[in-house]
Amino acid sequence: MISRDWYITKSNKKINLYRFWFFETAPRLAFAPPQPGRGRPSSLQKAIMIEVTDLTKHYLHAGSRVAALSAVNLRIGQGEIYGIIGRSGAGKSTLIRCLNLLERPDSGEVRIGADALTAYSERQLQQRRQRIGMVFQHFNLLRSRTVAANVRFPLELAGGLSAAQMDARVDELLALVGLQDHQYKRPAQLSGGQKQRVGIARALANHPDVLLCDEATSALDPETTDAILALLADINRQLGLTIVLITHDMRVIRQLCDSVAVLDHGRVVEAGKVLDVFLQPQHAATQSLLAETGLGQAALQGQWRERIGTPLLKLTFVGEPALQPVLDKVGREAGLRINLLSGTLAEIKHTPFGLLLAAVVASDVEVQALPAIFAREGVRCEVL
């Protein structure tokens, strides 16, 4: 969904200046054309940007050690949008805070680019953090500063720029997030979505190579969430920035992310491309998260099979087949009587996909042959 103020951002001429300016640091990705359909596979195969190895973290709770993270491993490619999803208490917040070492893990290694952060001194870490942007659920803006001064804040921290250079950079950033007209306002005068735009502009100030988003849209209404997600997607496309976000909301993963890791009780129980994880969830935690989005056909299966009394098919359409009358075609050719039980058509990152649950009246032999027939049409068929 594209909101109105999103257009303001896109049509603003300053964006092109910004792109041009960025040419020096990220030439390939800055001009990578948006590819509707299949995401950006070429950039995804690039170098590993973030590598987390055997990360473990415990808390002391009521005198006993509680594991917040147990042997977490992650590999996040450069330019990728990587989602980490889990229920509250799963360890998401701890994990993202371990990526820039706001929290020190008990053991394990965190690498960002070529830098092994876990081996850094506090001073080195502070230097490096200037180029790791972070966006927060509750925005965490300085109430004592105007919008422009908030965006300027990280530039002041880093030093090295003249006042005029800082002002110019602030103007660029405010244009990027579409807040040029609000620069003299205080955070208290802004809406939630505007506050988060300030937070994003601030996080981008020192040309980070990684952007960490800690439940960045959880405090926003659905429409504003869509606008912020669109902004993040655009920033990822324009700047080639690697984005890691944590969320409890499957919708955020579906709309924005290339890859996803599912966190449950401090462990990564499932990880992979969003499409794969969504359509073939392996772990119970993933299935239950998906069930809430209406994509969780798993929950339906047991309930209906006995009452219907015929074999059930779960059909998964990805890409073009989702838009074609495949079911009708196969049904006619194989002479099947099909009873459609439920269905979904949706998009994951511009890739359409469909999920159908259908009952078929057919012999066991015929049913056994169905997966192969559907496979020829590019549709995955599972007999339940």
Partner 1 sequence: MGDFDWNLLWQVDWAEIFDATLDTLTMLGVSLLFTVLLGLPLGVLLYLSAPGQLRARPRLYAVLSLLVNVLRSLPFVILLIVLIPLTLLLVGTSIGVAGAIVPLVVGAVPFFGRLVENVLREVDRGVIEASQAMGARLPQIIVKVLLPEALPGLVGAVTVTGVALVGYTAMSGVIGGGGLGDLAVRYGYQRFQTEVMIVTVALLLVLVQLLQSAGDRLVRRCRLD
**Residues that bind partner 1 in the complex, under the rule CB under 8 A:** 100, 102, 125-130, 132, 134, 136, 138, 140-145, 153-154, 156-158, 186-189, 202, 206, 212
- Kindly state the smallest distance separating residue 265's Cβ from partner 1, in Å: 25
User: Among residues 142 and 383, whose Cβ is nearest to partner 1?
Assistant: 142
Taking the complex as a whole, how short is the minimal distance between the CB of residue 191 and partner 1, in angstroms? 14
Q: Which amino acid is at 211?
A: L
Query: Judged by CB, which is closer to partner 1: 32, or 219?
Result: 219
Alpha-carbon distance of 337 to 350, in angstroms, equals 33
Task: Please list, in sequence order, all residues whose beta carbon lies within 8 angstroms of the beta carbon of residue 230, skipping any fewer than 6 positions away.
Answer: 1, 2, 3, 6
Minimum CB separation of residue 66 from partner 1 in Å reads 18
Report, in Å, the least distance between residue 68 CB and partner 1: 17
Integer CA distances (angstroms), 3 to 208, 253, 375, in order: 26, 19, 38
**Which residue, 245 or 277, is less far from partner 1 as judged by CB?**
245
CB of 36 to partner 1, least distance (A): 34
Distance CA 94, CA 55 (A): 11
Find the shortest distance in angstroms from Cβ 137 to partner 1.
Answer: 9
Q: Which residues pair with 109 in a beta bridge?
A: 53
Compare residues 3 and 140 and give the one whose CB is closer to partner 1: 140
Locus of tokens 């041009």: 20
Q: Which residue type occupies 305?
A: R
Q: Which is nearer to partner 1, 40 or 182 (CB)?
A: 182
Choice between 95 and 250, CB closer to partner 1 = 95
Q: Are strands 337-348 and 351-361 parallel, antiparallel or unpaired?
A: antiparallel
CA angle 39, 231, 167 (to 5 degrees): 130
Say how many Å lie between the first and final Cα of the chain, rounded: 35
Rounded to 5 degrees, φ, ψ at 79 are 80, 5
User: Is the CB of 39 or the CB of 133 nearer to partner 1?
Assistant: 133
Q: Which helix (H) or strand (E) holds 255?
A: helix 250-256
Check if the beta carbon of residue 269 is closer than 8 Å to that of residue 263: yes
- Whichever of 190 and 239 has its CB closer to partner 1, that residue is 190
Nearest-approach distance from CB 25 to partner 1, in angstroms: 18
Q: How far is the CB of 237 from partner 1 (least distance, A)?
A: 24
For partner 1, the closer CB: 30 or 76: 76
H helices present in 117-162, as ranges: 122-129, 147-158
CA angle 196, 128, 53 (to 5 degrees): 95
User: 184: number of CA atoms within 13 Å, CB side?
Assistant: 1
Alpha carbon distance 48, 50 (integer Å): 6
**Least distance in Å: CB of 143 to partner 1?**
4
